[in-house]
A and B are shown apart, each in its own frame.
Chain A
Amino acid sequence: MQRIFDTDLDAIKQELLTMAGLAEKSLDDVAKVLTTGDPELARSVIERDDRIDRCELTIDRLGTEFIVRHHPMAGDLRFIITAIKIAPRLERIGDNAVNIARYVLDITTGPWSSPVSEVPRILAQARAMVTDVVKAFVSRDADKAREVIRRDDQVDRLYWDLFRALLERIRTDPDAVHSLITQVLVARFAERIGDQATNIAEEIIYLVEGAPVKHSPLPPTGNE
């Protein structure tokens, strides 16, 4: 017979995975929106956000109830703390997908022109970070989480390179300023998704190893 404790713990884990799945779906959809300009798909991303928000509230509630009911300790305590801290990160990832969808919808009042290739590339890399950080959570793999954190630098570099390039193009092609600024903003939202994945990765390292790694240089892994 499963203990109430384990049933309650599973419920939180399940809700987190549901939430992560919804956020990942929004990222997949918004990647398509970015290349196709599909307004229907963009709207579906915006509509899905409500469900993601509700997941966050549910995780808050389940986490609070769990603490009250079970007084978790050690690994269980860290799991609850981690769940309560990961949920708002996933919610922000959903928000960033919504922001991208909104900008694409906004610009499609005129004909949608595909963005420069770096924008989808930044989004794809951030998306891959989210996939891997969810895997790291499921398998409680601190090394995988560290690897996600390392990849954030690359996403940041891509973003800043693109930012400078687009700034230059705005100077030389002022007529395209609306489209170019939109692309900068979309790239920025994508880059922020990478940051959220990084924050989640930091929480996972805390979950697994019990020591906080936020606001400190990334410690080397055992096999380095």
Chain B
Amino acid sequence: MVPSSDHPAVETRGLTVYYGDRPGLLDVSLAVPRHRIVAIIGPSGCGKTTFLRCINRLNDEIRGVRIEGRVLVDGVDVYRSGVQLEALRKRVGMVFQKSNPFPMSIRDNVTFGPRMAGVPERELGAEMVERSLRLAGLWDEVRDLLDRSALDLSGGQQQRLCVARALANQPDILLLDEPASALDPISTAKVEETLLQLKERYTIVVVTHNLQQAARIADDTAFLMDGRLVEVASTTTLLTNPKERLTEAYITGRFG
């Protein structure tokens, strides 16, 4: 898959997901333009994470899942036969809600992905480690601690290490599932600053429960409810003057 500017970085068309009989997503069509940050908001269980996990096909692992519609990454349907999962997940990096550094050194965490992908050892040197950690905004804090265990880092540092680990694979797209929900405000700010910096090189889709976080970092925000895409708009418009009453009710806390 070669990035092409003709297509959105990510696009879903009529994406529908069933877990057995239970719908996870219903007919979601959403385009994520290149070098934008798009936030996905919505109540718990609305399908945010399901949406994210369809983009790099993490849902494939779930028993009884049925996926309809299309998911296009750079215009290529990731569910068509012949798409290699490893190649897809290298292009589409993911960071989870709970930071999950591997119990190894900071350096080895960063080199883990490329090493697994068969990148030769000579390319996994200091330069590559520094580049990834710099991109994740962590370099200055850990440059002298590279051989220390990643588990010694603070929560915010661990999460940025996970971003660095995802970036080491040189993806084009970064998916983040509530990346700052367990972090204090200072660590949150650092993760957010990192994402804003990364926007120049990557396309970012971030699931968040925090509307202020969406307001701070996302160009566009999509609101999901009961598996459906209710509204997508520029973040400022969605948060100050949404078109749909359902969006207004959710973001003003007037549900039910």
Chain A interface (Cβ < 8 Å from any Cβ of B): 5, 71-78, 209-211
**Can you list, as one digit per residue, whether each of B208-241 has a CB less than 8 Å from chain A (1) or not (0)?**
0001100000000000000000000000000111
Question: Looking at B240, B248, B251, which has the most chain A CB atoms within 10 Å of its CB?
Answer: B240
* Given A210-B240, A210-B241, A211-B241: A74 touches B253 (CB 8 Å cut-off): no
- The answer, yes or no, to whether B242 is at the interface (CB within 8 Å) is yes
Please classify how large the interface on chain B is, using the bins under 10, 10 to 19, 20 to 34, 35 or more.
Answer: 10 to 19
By a CB distance below 8 angstroms, the chain A residues around B239 are: 73-74, 77
By a CB distance below 8 angstroms, the chain B residues around A76 are: 252
Name 28 A/B residue pairs within 8 A (Cβ), A-sorted: A5-B253, A71-B211, A71-B212, A72-B252, A73-B211, A73-B239, A73-B240, A73-B251, A73-B252, A74-B239, A74-B240, A74-B241, A74-B242, A74-B247, A74-B248, A74-B251, A74-B252, A75-B248, A75-B252, A76-B252, A77-B239, A77-B240, A78-B240, A78-B241, A209-B241, A210-B240, A210-B241, A211-B241
By a CB distance below 8 angstroms, the chain A residues around B248 are: 74-75
By a CB distance below 8 angstroms, the chain A residues around B247 are: 74
How many CB-defined contacts (below 8 Å) exist between A and B? 28
By a CB distance below 8 angstroms, the chain B residues around A75 are: 248, 252
By a CB distance below 8 angstroms, the chain A residues around B251 are: 73-74
A210 to B243, CA, bound (A): 10
By a CB distance below 8 angstroms, the chain B residues around A5 are: 253
Chain B interface (Cβ < 8 Å from any Cβ of A): 211-212, 239-242, 247-248, 251-253
Task: Return the chain B residue nearest A209 by Cβ.
Answer: B241
By a CB distance below 8 angstroms, the chain B residues around A73 are: 211, 239-240, 251-252
A75 to B212, CA, bound (A): 16
Would you give the shortest CB distance from B253 to chain A, in whole angstroms? 7
Task: Return the chain B residue nearest A5 by Cβ.
Answer: B253
By a CB distance below 8 angstroms, the chain A residues around B240 are: 73-74, 77-78, 210
By a CB distance below 8 angstroms, the chain A residues around B242 are: 74
Would you give the shortest CB distance from A27 to chain B, in whole angstroms? 33
Would you give the shortest CB distance from B205 to chain A, in whole angstroms? 21
Task: Return the chain B residue nearest A78 by Cβ.
Answer: B240
By a CB distance below 8 angstroms, the chain B residues around A210 are: 240-241
Known: A71-B212, A74-B241, A210-B240. 5 other contacts (CB 8 A): A71-B211, A73-B239, A74-B251, A74-B252, A77-B239
A209 to B237, CA, bound (A): 12
Would you give the shortest CB distance from A120 to chain B, in whole angstroms? 41
A209 to B251, CA, bound (A): 17
By a CB distance below 8 angstroms, the chain B residues around A72 are: 252
Task: Return the chain B residue nearest A3 by Cβ.
Answer: B253
A142 to B176, CA, bound (A): 41
A75 to B239, CA, bound (A): 9
A78 to B251, CA, bound (A): 13
Would you give the shortest CB distance from B37 to chain A, in whole angstroms? 19
A72 to B254, CA, bound (A): 12
A76 to B240, CA, bound (A): 9
A71 to B253, CA, bound (A): 10
A81 to B248, CA, bound (A): 17
Task: Return the chain B residue nearest A211 by Cβ.
Answer: B241
Would you give the shortest CB distance from B214 to chain A, in whole angstroms? 10
By a CB distance below 8 angstroms, the chain A residues around B253 are: 5
A72 to B215, CA, bound (A): 12
A38 to B256, CA, bound (A): 57
Task: Return the chain B residue nearest A6 by Cβ.
Answer: B254
A151 to B83, CA, bound (A): 66
Task: Return the chain B residue nearest A77 by Cβ.
Answer: B240
By a CB distance below 8 angstroms, the chain B residues around A74 are: 239-242, 247-248, 251-252
By a CB distance below 8 angstroms, the chain B residues around A211 are: 241
A108 to B235, CA, bound (A): 59
Would you give the shortest CB distance from B250 to chain A, in whole angstroms? 9
Would you give the shortest CB distance from A28 to chain B, in whole angstroms? 36
Would you give the shortest CB distance from B238 to chain A, in whole angstroms? 8
